[in-house]
Structure 1
Amino acid sequence: MELPAWLPSERTVSAFVVLILALTIALLAAGRGDRTLLGAGSNAVPTKSNGQVVAQVEAPRPKLGVAATPEAPAVGGGALLTPAPAIEYATAPLLATPPPDPAYDPMVDGLLPHFRILTYYGHPHDANMGIVGEHAIEDVHRLLIEEAERYEIADPDREVIAAFELIATVAQRVPGADGTYILDTDIKTLTEWVNYAADHDMLVFLDVQIGRGSVAAELEKVRSLLLRPNVHLAIDPEFAVADGQTPGDHIGSVWAESITYAQNELAALVEAHNLPPKVLIVHQFREDMIKEKETLRPVPGVQLVIDADGFGDPDLKTSVYNILVRDEPVEFGGIKLFYRQDKPLMEPSDVVDLNPSPDLVIYQ
C-alpha cells in the first residue's frame, strides 16, 4: 500500500527518534552532575528530626593558627607545616586489600589494609551520642568484641582490631567563653579510656568537632594523647561551621588543606617520636562537606580514611558509600552504621561485600 505523500519518510522518522533519544540522555547526564548527598535520608534538603530545614554552611577558608605557612611554626611549638608530597591518584582503586604479606611490619606499613578496624563511637558521659555512652566501659568492650567476631566470620581473611572513637571536643549550641561553640571532654576521662584500650590491645580515635574553631586548635588539645601509640585522630566536618553559624543548625564543612594540615602534624609526631603510622578519619555524608577533596593526597606516616557517615536504609548507605568512597578514592575507606537510626541495620556480610570492602567500620 502506498503511503500518502504528506507523511515523512522512514529515514526521516528514524533520524528524529535518534535525535530525541540523544537529547534525553544528555539531560539525564546533566541532572546527575549535582550529587549533593544526605546520609540521613532521601530528601533533597537536610532536615533535623523535627522536620526543620537545616541550612548548609559555606565553609570559610581554614584557620590554621600560626602554622598557616610552611615557614611558620605550628601551634604549640610543633613541627613545621610542610606541603603534602605530590602523589598521583592510581588508576586502579587505592582501597583494594592486597594479598597477605609475610613481611608485614605495622611500625612501617601501618594497620591498613592488613587489618580491618571496628570502632564504637560516642561520648563516655552521654548516652544520646552513641553506644560508647550507653554502657560501662567493660560492657562497651564486650559488645564491641562480639561485633568484631561477627565481622571475622563474615570475612575470615581479615583480622579485626577493636577501637573506641571518643568525642574529645563536643560541638555546642552556645558559644562558650572562647566563642568556638566547643566543650572539651575532660582529659581524665579520655585518659582512662586510652589506658583501658592500651591494656586490652585496642585503639582509640579522638574525634574533634571544630565548631567555629580550627582543626589546628582542636588538634592541639589532644596532642599529648596522640603521642600514645594506640591513639589516633578523627575530624568531623559536620560541626565545623562558619562565623555567624551554629553547630546543629547548620551542616558544616572543612577545606582539604585543613585535613592536609592534620596529616602533616600527625606525620611529624610519628617521625619525631618513633611511633607507628597514625590513622586519620574524616567523616563525610555530603560531597560539599570536604571542600576541594580532589586535592587530598596520601602522606607518609599517616593513613587517611574517608568515612561514609549518616544514617539511612541499606540502599541509601550503599549509594553514599559508592559516591564518597568508591568513586572518589583518596587512600582508605570506611562506613558508619547507626544501631538506632539505620532501619534495617546492615549485616556484617553486607558491609564487607561493599566494593571496595571497608577498611574501617564505625558503630554509633
Structure 2
Amino acid sequence: MADRPKPFSSEWITAPPPEPTAPHLFSDRIRAIITRVARPLPGDRTLSVWMLLILVVGSLLLAGPPGQAHLNELAALESGATPAPVIDWDEQEPASSSASISTDSLAVTDDEASVAPITSTPPDLQLDLGQAPEQPALTPDGLMPEYRILTYYGFPGNEQMGILGEHEMHRVLELLRQQAAEYEAADPSRPVMIAFEVIASVAQPEPQADGSFLLDIPSELLDQYAAFTAANDILLFLDVQVGRRTVEAEIEGIRPWLELPHVHLAIDPEFAMEEGQIPGDHIGQVDATDIAFAQQWLVDLTTGLGIPPKVLIVHQFHYTMIENKDQVEPMAGVQLVIDADGFGPPATKRDAYAVMIGQIPIEYHGVKLFYKQDVPLMTAEEILDLDPVPDLVIYQ
C-alpha cells in the first residue's frame, strides 16, 4: 500500500486502476476454521453454493402458502379497505333563535355514515399532493387570487350553528377582523377579504309545509345582514341546504339578494335529499350538473346586471357529496371554491383536505374550521401550510 499514490492526488486520479484480485468472501482466519471443520469443501465457491442452498431450502420451509400476502393485499384493495378519510361532522342541534327557526338534531352517526348510500365512484387515493402550477385566472376581475376570503359562518341568533349566531353583528365583525389579522400576518403578500356567511335555508327533520324539509330565514333578517355587510364594505355569502328542493329553486329563492354586488352563494350538499331521504338520516349530494347550473346562473346574473363576478362555494366532507366530481370545471365569469368541510383534529383535517381538495383541484380551494369542535384548532400558519394553499377559510 505504501507505493500507491495518495487518494485524490493528481497521481491517484491519473494512475491506471490496480489489477483486480479475486475477492474472498471470508477472512483468512474464518477460512482456516472452516477448512478444519469442513475439509471436504474445496474452497469459497463451493462453500457459497452450499450456504445458498441452505438459505433457499430454509426459506421455503418457513414461508407460508405461496403468494398469500399479495392475495391479501389485492383483496383489500378490491374491497375498498382504504376508504377516504372521514371527519366527525355531526350537525349541531340549533337552539331557538330570534327568527324562530329551530330543528332537532340532524346528527348522522359514524355507523350510519359508513353505510350511507354510495352513488358515486370512490376516489383513487393515489394522491399527487404537489402544488398544481398556477394557471391564468378565468375570471381576472374576480376577487381571487388577489384576495384570500375569510368568513364567519352560522345562523343569526343561534349559538349552536356557528360563531355568526353567537354575537350581535358588530361584535361578530370585530372578532372577524381580529381573525383576519392573523392571516395577513402569516401571509403579508395576500390581503384578506372578510365576509359573513349566513345560512339562508335550514334543514329540518320534518317535511314542513312545502315538503322541502327546510325552513327559510325571514327576508327581513336577510335584509338586515345585507345592509350591514354593505355598510361595512364586507362580503355576504348566503348558504342554502337544498333539502328536497332543487338547486335551481334554492337559488331563485334568494335572487333579490344575489342581485346585490357584494352578495355571493354557497351550496351545502349535505342536506340535498332525494325522494324518500330525510336530512340527518342520509348524507346528501349534488351532481356536477347542479354545480354547472349554479355557475351559469351566476354568470348570467352578473352579466345581465353589469355587476362584479360572484363566488360560488360548494361544501364537501365526504366524497359522495359531489357526484361526478371529475366533471366539475371552472367557468369564466364565476369563481368556484370547493370547501373541505367537517371538524376533527389537525391530522384528520389534513387528510380530508388532501382527498377533497388535493386529489381533484378544480379552481379555488377552501377549508372550514370549528372553534368549538376542532381540538386543537389549527393556527393560521398551519392552514396556510396546506397544499394547495387555501384561498378561502371559513370559521363556524
Instruction: State the TM bucket, normalised to the shorter chain.
Output: 0.7 to 0.9
Matched, 1:332 2:364: yes
Q: 2:254 maps to which residue?
A: 222
Equivalence map 1:305-344=2 (5 Å): 305-344=337-376
Equivalence map 1:185-334=2 (5 Å): 185-334=217-366
Mapped partners of 2:305, 2:167: distance in 1:
34
TM-score scaled by length of structure 1: 0.79
Q: 2:150 maps to which residue?
A: 118
1:134-168 deviation line (CA, Å, top 9, x unaligned) = 00000000000000001111111110010011000
1:38 partner amino acid: V
Shift in Å at residue 277 of structure 1?
A: 1.2
Mapped partners of 2:134, 2:371: distance in 1:
27
The percent identity for this pair of structures is 43
Shift in Å at residue 109 of structure 1?
A: 2.5
1:158-192 deviation line (CA, Å, top 9, x unaligned) = 10010011000111111111100011101111121
Shift in Å at residue 249 of structure 1?
A: 2.3
Q: Which ranges in structure 2 are unaligned for 5 or more consecutive residues?
A: 1-37, 39-49, 90-105, 121-127
2:288 partner amino acid: A
Structure 2 counterpart of 1:40, from 69, 84, 88: 88
Residue 210 of structure 1 contacts residue 218 of structure 1 at CA under 8 Å; is this kept in 2? yes
Q: 1:53 maps to which residue?
A: 112
1:236-283 deviation line (CA, Å, top 9, x unaligned) = 000111212211222111111111110010010111111111100000
Mapped partners of 1:96, 1:336: distance in 2:
24
Q: Which ranges in structure 1 are unaligned for 5 or more consecutive residues?
A: 42-46, 61-90
Residue 157 of structure 2 contacts residue 167 of structure 2 at CA under 8 Å; is this kept in 1? no
Q: 2:380 maps to which residue?
A: 348
In the alignment of these two chains, the number of paired residues is 325
Shift in Å at residue 17 of structure 1?
A: 11
1:86-110 deviation line (CA, Å, top 9, x unaligned) = xxxxx99786668xx9xx9x98420
Shift in Å at residue 37 of structure 1?
A: 3.8
Q: 2:162 maps to which residue?
A: 130
Residue 371 of structure 2 contacts residue 395 of structure 2 at CA under 8 Å; is this kept in 1? yes
Larger relative contact order (CA 8 Å, sep ≥ 6): 1
1:275-301 deviation line (CA, Å, top 9, x unaligned) = 111100000000011000110111111
Residue 107 of structure 1 contacts residue 275 of structure 1 at CA under 8 Å; is this kept in 2? no
SS of the aligned residue for 1:145 comes to: helix
Moved more, 327-336 or 4-13: 4-13
Matched, 1:166 2:198: yes
Residue 239 of structure 2 contacts residue 267 of structure 2 at CA under 8 Å; is this kept in 1? yes
Shift in Å at residue 196 of structure 1?
A: 1.0
2:346 partner amino acid: P
Q: Could you say what the CA RMSD is over the residues aligned between the two structures, in angstroms?
A: 3.4
Shift in Å at residue 11 of structure 1?
A: 10
- Whichever of the two has the greater Rg, that structure is 2
Residue 57 of structure 1 contacts residue 241 of structure 1 at CA under 8 Å; is this kept in 2? no
Residues 16 and 113 of structure 1: CA distance in aligned 2, closer, same or farther (over 3 Å): farther
SS of the aligned residue for 2:174 comes to: helix
Residues 204 and 227 of structure 1: CA distance in aligned 2, closer, same or farther (over 3 Å): same
TM-score scaled by length of structure 2: 0.73
